[in-house]
Structures are given as structure tokens and as C-alpha cells.
Amino acid sequence: MSPDRMEKNAAIPTHVAIIMDGNGRWARERGLPRLAGHRAGAEAVARCLRAAMQRGVSYLTLYAFSSENWSRGPQEVADLTGLLCYYLRHKARELHAEGVRLRFIGDLSRFDDSLRAELARAEELTRHNSRLVVLFALSYGGRGDIVQAAQQLARAAAEGRIAPEQITESMFASHLWTAGVPDPDVIVRTSGECRLSNFLLWQSAYAELVFQDVYWPDYSEGHFAMVLDQYARRERRFGARPAASA
């Protein structure tokens, strides 16, 4: 492997997380129903997965359905969950053949039995794959993630299985829905909005943030490459002093 190739690989983030935003506005500006935006967004997911695999990213987390999305109209919720079910039935085996592992994080208990069964089947089918691990955040909220982890540890302390002073950051992280997954190196939000919207609040402590002014259905391999290029130019210090200049 050439030195240039090694340097390029060193600049590739291990974990990219994306807030996929703008499906509704994309559809509205074209005079289309919101479902058309969500369908176009699913096509963008496929492009994003291809780009992540081509560039050597190991983990990709996609914010697909937030805990706040349950407050949307019942028809839109039904459209979103139906589209997810369709995607899993028709794409899981294809992703499996490409070496993709699928994981689903969030309060999945809020979904109906049929969708939960599809999620479980996709996870089981792909669980031994390692080319790219894709986490779909569904019915997910960062605050809810922290609360459920705290509840688990509180129960353990109340039952005498751990002492409160034994709780460390690493122990807490092991009870989050993302347990076993490295924290994201970079978090991306599309559509021009500049906020996290309750996404990976604990895990994002040292993530680089990139905001892109493109609606998610228009997201391309080129947009993903721009994220990686920005990441490669940034100096990550994790609170340490910058290195002294030569």
C-alpha cells in the first residue's frame, strides 16, 4: 500500500451519522405528496450506503424516524412505516449479499408486531456481516436513549448488583441503544438546518458537525464525498491543546 493510500485511509471516519432531513420540503416544492419525498429519500439511502462502502466507512447511522415523528398525522406515520417495511422485504437480502449488517436502535416497542418481525428478520439475516454496519434510528430520541440507560443502571443499583459509585462513562455507554458501536466521528444534517434535533446526544460529545444545504432526496455520492473531505481537513483534539507549530 502506498503512503498516499495509507494517509487517505487514516482520514476516513470510522462512523458517520446522518440526520436525513428535507423529504417533505422536497416534495412540496415539486407539488408532490409527502410520500413521494419519502420514497425519493429511500433512493438516497441506497446511494449513501454505496458511497460509504466505496469510501471504507465502517459504521453508518441514519436518523430515519424520530420519537417526535409519532406526533405527525396518522397517514404520514403509516406511510413511513409502510415504506420501511417494503424496503426491508425487498432490500435486506441484497444488502446481505453486499456484506452489510443492519441494526435498528430506538424504542422499537412502539411499532406493530409485523414491522418488529421484519426488523428482527433483517437483523438476524445480516448479523454476521462486517463490510458496513448500518444502524437505522427508529422511534429514536437522544434524551430517551439516555433515560432508558439511566433506568437500567438505577434498577441494577436498587437490586444491589452494582454500587452507584461504580457507574462510569463507559458503563453508562454500554447501556445505550448504540452499545458496542464507536461514537460517531462526524454527524451530518441535510436541508440546511443547523441543529441535532435530539439525535445521539450522548454519543455526539466530540463529533465533528457538518451541515449541508441539500434536501435528503437529492443526496448523492458527491455530497457524501464532500463530508469526508471536510472531515479530513479538520483537526480533532478531544479537548487537548493543539500541537505546537514547527
129 is a catalytic site residue: no
Residue 34 assigned ligand-binding role: yes
Residue 129 assigned ligand-binding role: no
Catalytic annotation, pick one of 4, 69, 79, 213:
69
Cell readout for 43 is 433512493
Residue 202 assigned ligand-binding role: no
Catalytic annotation, pick one of 4, 21, 107, 129:
21
Residue 153 assigned ligand-binding role: no
Residue 89 assigned ligand-binding role: no
CA gap 159, 114 in Å, rounded: 35
Residue 30 assigned ligand-binding role: no
Question: Which of 134, 151, 153 is closest to 91 using CA atoms?
Answer: 134
Report which DSSP code applies to 25. H
Q: Please list the alpha-helical segments (H only) found in the chain.
A: 3-10, 23-29, 34-55, 74-97, 113-126, 142-158, 169-173, 221-233
4 is a catalytic site residue: no
Are 228 and 55 a contacting pair, CB within 8 Å? yes
Residue 66 assigned ligand-binding role: yes
Residue 208 assigned ligand-binding role: yes
Report which DSSP code applies to 68. G
Residue 216 assigned ligand-binding role: no
Residue 195 assigned ligand-binding role: yes
**31 in the Ramachandran plot: left (φ > 0), alpha (ψ -120 to 50) or beta?**
left
Query: Which segments are annotated as binding site?
Result: 21-26, 34, 38, 66-68, 70, 72, 189, 195-197, 208
Instruction: Provide the annotated binding site for Mg(2+).
Output: 21, 208
Catalytic amino acids? 21, 69
